[in-house]
Structure 1
Amino acid sequence: MPPKNDGGKKKLSKAEKEKMKKEEAERKAQEEEEAQRKAVEEEKKHKEMEMLQAEERKKIEKEEKKHRKVQMNELFEILDANKNALQEMSTKKLKDMKWARYMKCDGSPDPTVPGEINTYINLRLENMDKVSSSEALQLVELDNKLIEELDFWLAHPQDLTESNVANYKEAITDLQKLMSTKLNDVTLDILCKATELQDNETYNLQYTVKSENIYLCVWGNLSKKRIKPFEFVEKGFTFDIPKVLALTDCAIRVMFTKYDHLSFKSKALYPKQKKKVIEEPEEAPEPKDEEEETKKEEGEPSEEAEDDFEDPSTPEPAEWEDFDEDDDIIDLRAYHIVGGVISFDLIELPPQPKQVNTWTITAQISPHEVRHIPYIADNANLSLIQKEVKEGQEEKKREERPPISIIYKLPEDSMFVDEPLPGRWDEDIQHWRQDGFTDVKFDEEKRIVQFKTSYFGKLALFQDAHINMPFQSWEIRPRGINNAIFTIIAAVIDIQIEIKDNLCCVIQPTDKIELQPLIEKWMKPEELIKTLKRTGIDIFPAEDSSKFVNVQNKDTLLEERIYQQIALTSSSMAYSWSKWNSEADKRAIIYLGSESLNDESLLEEDWSVFKSTKTRAMKLKVSEISENFSDELAEDIEFQSNLYHLTKIFLSDEGKARLEKTDFQYVDCVEKLLIATKVLTYA
């Protein structure tokens, strides 16, 4: 029988197996090598792509920087031209004022010339000629105008030397002392004629005289009768006359002055900035190649640096010290005087002239000055009463010198929206104090405040300086070329200010009696700010107001630039508060804007959301009523380097024409009001 077939398979020899293994290994090696080569090529392509993309980004950034530099240079050319025009106008105005003062022939001295002002003060002090009380007050008003003139020059110190500044301040102090002396002289002259001026019904002295900034009221106890509280009806000021004074030769002077010559003496008026601890820098490691490092530092600026617009660095926000005086001292950073200063003085009534036959005998008063009667209510010094005094005796002791009850109808030009804080001036420590007052009550509807005071002296009513902050919203919209309405909805008052050319005025609210004298009264922005503050409407944050108001502080350089550009475009554009601004960090400011060529209020759908940073200004797709914020740009509107150039993209021809016609004085007026109110931070 033949042998079985193995199926044609030939058994591989050992050598053949080795060969196959070798071939398989070579094939795998080739595959791995090919895969590695492809990976290297892919990596190379990826890197090349990244390099191309980086170069493209760099190119785009370079073009953007070039574009920004062109736009920013163009913007600053406009701003610098406006600034130079304002500076030239201001310089001319100051020169004209100096010349007008030099040519003035009304007999008043030039307070900036030490010889003239010193001679004037000495002659005024030596002059004892009798004049009417009304004429005497007019002379004191002249003294006050000289102080205002010096204050003006101190506020414009461009050409002043340190010696000038020192002389002006010394002259102000001397003039203030002169005013005080002359007001005392007027008071004494009135008291010396008390019987001549006495009231026919009460037989007491009741005399008032007033001038522009001073209202002097004098009561003299001639009848020596126990009387009810006395009221100076013209000023709505009522005070009690303690029983202990009923039989004494005393007088009470109540003098109202619109100026405040006291607060500047108090340290509490001035903000205290925290001192920054300067840390010693760590020693940097030496560069490996010192020559190369030196070349990098001293080398020519790069092309990119030349293309970019150099922004100054934003200074670090200041940090402020907490108020560290006693609790009784009034913090003048947190509270402001409203309604001026009241001098409430207890004075000796001098002996009156006596008629003997045909002779009139008049006592000679030497020295010729008012004499204040010390009076401090017993309840102010309860700690001094001996503990062993019985309760009944203590009560009797208290009643001998009771606190003085005062009822005061607030001046019609002073607005209090909350209970006033009474304060008294302490000359010894040069501060306003809030102790010594009890039973304070405020009737807002009748505009009457009443309280009891343990002290005579200088009094004032204070109001929270930040009661209107933060603001609820704001808006500025054009009424025409160089004409706009600026509205602030503050915490307790809504106010509208019209701006026209280089002047502004309050136009709303018209139902507040305190604002009636200001409605449609045109003035420079600095004057309006000062007047509103004096009235009690403080919508102007101070440098340290963020210590008292919870706000999101913004980059100061960015904020200032936006105010400049809002002012530049405010003849064509309306701007307003945005709810998104408080959610943005300090490096971004968000607000609403819209072209507005008609003198009409804008509808909600008219507004667009704008965002500005130090390098970009954008019109966004998001709206004020969107649920979530997004940085997505509005369609067909690319970002620009600043707001001014952004508006020029979408403004109509008429809107652009208005920009060209906007006057630099109007721009300055708008900018000053925006900077003063800081609406981008405090709303």
Structure 2
Amino acid sequence: MEAERVEWEKTLACSTKPDPSDDAAINTYVTEQMETSEPRLEKAGKIVDHTAQIVNDLNVELARVRGLHDYVRVGRLLDFRRRLYDVVTKKLDEATANVLTYSSEYMEDPLAGELMVQHKFGDTSYAIWVNKGGRALRMKSLPFTEVGLQVDVPKPIATQNVAIRTIWHEFDHAKDRAESVAALEAYLRSIGALAEVDATSAKGGKGGKGGKGAAESKDESKGSEESKAKAASEAKGEGEGGEGGDGEADVPADPDAGTSVGTSRDVPLGGVMYVEMLRLPPGSKQVLTWTLQQVTAETKTVTRLPHPMKDQVGAAAAAQALKIRFTMPKHVIMPSAPEGDDGVDDAKDAEEKPADAPGPPIRVAHWDAAAGVWSEEGITEAEYAPDSRLVTFHTSRLTAMAVVQPRHMHLPFFSWQLVPSSPEETVLSIESQRFTVSIEITPAKVRLLEPAIPELEEMLGVPMLPAQLLQALARSGLVIDPIDEDAKYVTSSFTGSNMVPKERAFERQLYLDAASLAPAFALRSSKWNQQQGARAAVLYAKESLDYDEDPDEGDETDWRCALFEIDEEAVDGIRVSLVKAMESDEEYNGGRAEMEVTHRRLGRAIATRATPEAMEVASEASPLFQRTVAETLSLVRPLSFH
């Protein structure tokens, strides 16, 4: 039924995107794109935008299956996503190579020897400056106004015959892109293609803008592309069965593994910018009515050059750094918020830090492929102007760059609560380190209710799939879908130690059990939960059939404390009992409540303390509603990160 619903929605939307849950469709799309070339920038950009939309859909599916703890499937989807990233890189590099090869024909004034091209391809921004004149007397300012970017190039670079290219992607594929580029360059070096001329082609008249006239047949070109793709795949350690082949995809040892810088794990905020210096291919020669063009590696792809001072330090390096200015997207929540009402809980802030304490400074980093981390080395004078949302920094690194923040910035959660508003509606409230996030859960879809801040206004009240909403929040910098690795960088305020995530299968069973009571019971966090470790959990439950009543009103004894424990001998591997612990106690009391015994389900454990009406409402809830509640909880993971 789910597959039919997705297919019907695609039909209504006239969508040609492959279904991210259909391995064959994704594999076919990637194979077709990798085996064909598109030298025209505008058409290549459309393919890039289409591929980026597929990546967005795949990320939603990835979040969904990660919430289900299906890590075999997670590994498979990560593999497909990397291949889609390769499509994006290949198309833009091929089109860029064509622009560089025939740049003289694009120039309005060939004598000036300069060309600037700017394009927006959906959420991807592309800009390039080609310098064949090399006559700059001072710093060269490149105002890429159409894509909201300005690059100031120092004289030592501005006087060289090179190109400066910038690409902005909303998604982060810095690691995968660096590996693919390194693999392809290693292959080209192994055959001498980066240093030697492969052939010379001749073409009549001009006609060069489409890349016509190359002295190699279409079949030979296709064979060359296949050879390079195969070599790149082998260089990345992929063999039969990898990258969507017929065999079983490799499953990462830790599918949640991320990157770390010091004691934090950083992620890009708002997207990733690639600033690169490219070598120009050999120029063409006009002989009578013929244009002779050497065919080298640079006519099919690009050769990236390092900053000449990237390994230097001090004043000399600073003087030759590029200055970059760009505007952060409006949907991004910046770490250093402007003064005033920014959606932060000011009362909580006043308790935890002085009123005059500055916000966290903005951090700009580049992707260090060798170390596999986001690094701030070589990037200086990073500033952010809140009113204009303008980010400015200097860099001696020519690679992927981004404003970064710790992925665990909003962890741990101070508290959480699940409160029903009807038999098939409930509201999950998460009090994170900075915001209170409220999500209304209904059958199949969820809606964001809070925080009602300008950056999130376009998604407020919009029905989405649970994974889709969490992805949208992460896109804005509000990451509340933790992974196990985050626990290493987060300290529990209750235990004083690092957070201890629950065992995956156990945790999923907890949320399925909790979801079964969502129509008629309020659930909330317990300060005793973290000290139970990975194999046990504690939460409170209270009957809540009066949907207009605040469940926090009333006596503390109205809440029942439920203890979940792993029990290998039990049928479902879990046991539940009501215990005496109360939130106001100074020490945990795990003794069973009076007249209580151990049960297999939370519903059975609490039935003796609830009305028959409440149990009937809970039992009659739709399976789709309960599944949506469980899926949302599995993504947010409140029992592991509170």
Which residue number corresponds to residue 293 of structure 2? 364
Instruction: Give 3-state SS (helix, strand or coil) of 1:251's partner.
Output: strand
Which residue number corresponds to residue 516 of structure 2? 568
Q: CA deviation at 1:138?
A: 1.2
Which residue number corresponds to residue 405 of structure 1? 323
1:340 and 2:271 correspond: yes
2: CA distance, partners of 1:233 / 1:567: 50
2: CA distance, partners of 1:112 / 1:589: 40
Instruction: Give 3-state SS (helix, strand or coil) of 1:259's partner.
Output: coil
Q: Which amino acid aligns with 2:154?
A: P
CA distance 1:531–1:170, shift in 2 (3 Å): closer
CA RMSD of aligned residues (A): 4.9
Which residue number corresponds to residue 524 of structure 1? 465
Identity rate, percent:
21
Q: CA deviation at 1:111?
A: 7.0
Q: CA deviation at 1:216?
A: 0.9
Which residue number corresponds to residue 500 of structure 2? 553
2: CA distance, partners of 1:572 / 1:404: 60
2: CA distance, partners of 1:119 / 1:549: 41
Which residue number corresponds to residue 623 of structure 2? 664
1:380 and 2:285 correspond: no
Match of 1:138 among 31, 46, 53: 46
1: CA distance, partners of 2:562 / 2:532: 10
Q: Which amino acid aligns with 2:333?
A: M
Describe the superposition over 1:272-307 as per-residue Cα deviations: whole angstroms up to 9, x where unpaired.
xxxxxxxxxxxxxxxxxxxxxxxxxxxxxxxxxxxx
Match of 1:602 among 543, 551, 556: 551
2: CA distance, partners of 1:118 / 1:188: 21
1: CA distance, partners of 2:509 / 2:491: 23
Q: CA deviation at 1:352?
A: 9.3
1:180 and 2:127 correspond: no
Describe the superposition over 1:243-281 as per-residue Cα deviations: whole angstroms up to 9, x where unpaired.
2234444432211112333435899xxxxxxxxxxxxxx
Contact 1:377 1:403 in 2 (8 A): no
Contact 1:554 1:587 in 2 (8 A): no
CA distance 1:565–1:445, shift in 2 (3 Å): farther
Describe the superposition over 1:108-164 as per-residue Cα deviations: whole angstroms up to 9, x where unpaired.
999728995687246513x65xx4x33321123344566778889999799x9x9x9
Contact 1:215 1:257 in 2 (8 A): yes
Q: CA deviation at 1:489?
A: 0.6
2: CA distance, partners of 1:177 / 1:520: 35
Match of 2:540 among 584, 592, 610: 592
CA distance 1:215–1:508, shift in 2 (3 Å): same
1:577 and 2:525 correspond: yes
Which entry has the higher C-alpha Rg, 1 or 2?
A: 1
Contact 2:114 2:131 in 1 (8 A): yes
Match of 1:676 among 628, 635, 642: 635
1:255 and 2:167 correspond: yes
> Hey, which of these two has a bigger chunk of helix by percent?
1
Contact 2:271 2:402 in 1 (8 A): yes
CA distance 1:261–1:562, shift in 2 (3 Å): closer
TM-score by length of 2: 0.65
Describe the superposition over 1:25-69 as per-residue Cα deviations: whole angstroms up to 9, x where unpaired.
xxxxxxxxxxxxxxxxxxxxxxxxxxxxxxxxxxxxxxxxxxxxx
Number of corresponding residues? 508
Q: CA deviation at 1:640?
A: 5.4
Unaligned runs of at least 5 residues, structure 1: 1-88, 268-318, 383-393
Describe the superposition over 1:73-119 as per-residue Cα deviations: whole angstroms up to 9, x where unpaired.
xxxxxxxxxxxxxxxx56x659x869x99xx9979999728995687
1: CA distance, partners of 2:82 / 2:159: 39
Instruction: Give 3-state SS (helix, strand or coil) of 1:570's partner.
Output: coil
Q: Which amino acid aligns with 2:92?
A: L
Unaligned runs of at least 5 residues, structure 2: 180-252, 336-359, 493-498, 566-574
Q: Which amino acid aligns with 1:605?
A: G
Contact 2:86 2:177 in 1 (8 A): no
2: CA distance, partners of 1:491 / 1:577: 15
Matches within 5 A, 1:192-271: 192=102, 196=106, 205-221=115-131, 224=135, 226=138, 229-264=141-176
1: CA distance, partners of 2:302 / 2:177: 24
Q: CA deviation at 1:501?
A: 0.3
CA distance 1:522–1:234, shift in 2 (3 Å): farther
Contact 1:353 1:360 in 2 (8 A): no
Contact 1:121 1:175 in 2 (8 A): no
Q: CA deviation at 1:666?
A: 1.6
1: CA distance, partners of 2:78 / 2:488: 30
2: CA distance, partners of 1:141 / 1:650: 56
Which residue number corresponds to residue 498 of structure 1? 440
Which residue number corresponds to residue 646 of structure 1? 605
Q: CA deviation at 1:490?
A: 0.4
Contact 2:284 2:294 in 1 (8 A): no
Describe the superposition over 1:416-472 as per-residue Cα deviations: whole angstroms up to 9, x where unpaired.
324454333345666554422222334456544332211212223321011111111
Instruction: Give 3-state SS (helix, strand or coil) of 1:364's partner.
Output: strand
Q: CA deviation at 1:627?
A: 6.1
CA distance 1:587–1:176, shift in 2 (3 Å): closer
Contact 1:197 1:207 in 2 (8 A): no
2: CA distance, partners of 1:483 / 1:107: 32
Describe the superposition over 1:300-321 as per-residue Cα deviations: whole angstroms up to 9, x where unpaired.
xxxxxxxxxxxxxxxxxxx99x
2: CA distance, partners of 1:594 / 1:670: 17
TM-score by length of 1: 0.62
Match of 1:536 among 477, 482, 487: 477
Q: Which amino acid aligns with 1:662?
A: A
Instruction: Give 3-state SS (helix, strand or coil) of 2:607's partner.
Output: helix
Q: Which amino acid aligns with 2:636?
A: T
2: CA distance, partners of 1:664 / 1:122: 42
Q: Which amino acid aligns with 1:180?
A: T
Which residue number corresponds to residue 414 of structure 1? 332
Which residue number corresponds to residue 42 of structure 1? none
Contact 1:114 1:167 in 2 (8 A): no
2: CA distance, partners of 1:136 / 1:324: 31
